[in-house]
Amino acid sequence: IRSSLLHFRYNVCIMAYGQTGSGKTHTMIGSQSEDPTAAVQDSHQGIIPKAANELFKLISEKPADSHMVEMSVVEVYNNEVLDLLARDEGGATVGVKREVITTSTGTTTAVKVMQLINSVLKLRSHCPTLVHMDSSRSHFIVTLTVTSKSPDALALGRVSQKEWWSPRCRRAASSRSSSLASSPCHSPCPSPRPSITQPPLKTKLQLVDLAGSECVGMSGVTGAVLWESSCINRSLSALSDVLGALAERRPHVPYRNSKLTHLLQDTIGGDAKLLIMLCVSPTQRFLTESLQSLGFGARARQVQREPPRRKNTALKMK
C-alpha cells in the first residue's frame, strides 16, 4: 500500500474477490469492532483501515497543507449506485457534507475515516442465504481522492490554504489545466501563476469489498434475493470481461457494461495499480467456486499496466 501511494502519482485500486462467505469483508474491513480506534490500531485490522492509516501518515510527512483528501462511500446494489454518506442512520437521504480534519500524525484522521465508514456499513444491503447468514448483497466502494497542491504554489507560498482549496480556485485550476490555458486568471483568485504552470494533482485510491459470486442452487435464494444474486453475478462477469479486454489489449474495454466497472474505470485501467485479494473457502464443498475465483485471479494477473503516462506534473485533472 505504502509503495503504491508514496508519490501520489498513480490511481490505485485494492479489491477483495471471492465467493459468498469466503472472507472478503473480513479482509477489507477487519474485525468489525464498535470502537473505530481499535479498527485502525488492531493487529487484525482490514485493508481499508490500514490503507487509511498509511495514506494519512504519508500526508503528514509532506509539507503542511499540501494535500487535501475527499472521500466517498457508495454501494452498487442491483446495478444502481447509492451514496451511503448521504444517508442518516435510518437510511433516509440527508445529503450533508461531512468534514474530517487532518491532524499532524494522520492517525486521528484515519480513526475518523473509519468512524464514518463504520457508521454507514450497517446501511449496506445484507440478507441471509444458505451459504452465509450475513451475506452482503452489494459492492462496497470507498474512494479517497487526494489533491496535491503543486510544488510551485507551495514553494512560493503565495496562496493560503483556505484560498487554494476554495471551489473557485480549484475550478479555475481545473479549467486551465484541461484547456492548456495560458490566459491569466481574471477572477479574484489570489495567485493564478503557480497553477498555470502546475495545476493541482489528483489521484484516486479505491478500496472495494465486492459482493460474493454465488451459485444460486447452493445459496437457495428466491424472489428479490435471486434478482440481487443475478445482478451481482452479472456485474462480476462484467468486471472479468474488462480485465480480459485489458489483458488482451483490446482497443475497446467494456467499462460501461456495468455500474461497477464504470465506477472503477480510473483505477483498474490505464497506468493505474490494481491489487486483487482472492478469498477462497477452505472446504471441499466449495471447490468449484474456489476454482472459479482462482480463474478470475489468473485472468487479472495477465493484465499488464500501461507504461506510465504521468511524468512529474503531467497528471490528468478530472
Ligand X SMILES: Nc1ncnc2c1ncn2[C@@H]1O[C@H](COP(=O)(O)OP(=O)(O)OP(=O)(O)O)[C@@H](O)[C@H]1O
| Ranges within 266-305 binding ligand X (CB under 6 A) | 279
26 scored as a contact of ligand X (CB under 6 A) = yes
Q: Which of 9, 24, 139, 202 binds ligand X (CB under 6 A)?
A: 24
Q: Which CB sits closer to ligand X, 67 or 137?
A: 137
235 scored as a contact of ligand X (CB under 6 A) = no
The residue behind cell 482497443 is 251
- H helices present in 144-269, as ranges: 151-156, 161-164, 167-178, 192-197, 216-219, 223-247, 259-268
Q: Which CB sits closer to ligand X, 18 or 194?
A: 18
Residue 187 carries which side chain, given as an amino acid letter? Answer: S
Q: What are phi and psi of 13, to 5 degrees?
A: -130, 130
Q: How many CB atoms lie within 10 A of CB 113?
A: 26
d(CA 206, CA 144): 6
106 scored as a contact of ligand X (CB under 6 A) = no
Point out the residue whose Cβ comes nearest to ligand X: 212
23 scored as a contact of ligand X (CB under 6 A) = yes
The cell for 165 is: 482549496
Q: Which of 1, 11, 18, 267 binds ligand X (CB under 6 A)?
A: 18
Q: Which CB sits closer to ligand X, 20 or 191?
A: 20
| Ranges within 129-148 binding ligand X (CB under 6 A) | 132, 134-136
Tell me whether residue 20 is annotated as binding: yes
Tell me whether residue 25 is annotated as binding: yes
Tell me whether residue 22 is annotated as binding: yes
Q: Which CB sits closer to ligand X, 189 or 211?
A: 211
Tell me whether residue 244 is annotated as binding: no
Distances (CA, A) of 115 to 31, 35, 43, 192: 14, 8, 18, 37
The three-point CA angle 2-117-112 to 5° equals 70
- Residues found near ligand X in the complex (CB under 6 A): 18, 20-26, 132, 134-136, 211-212, 279
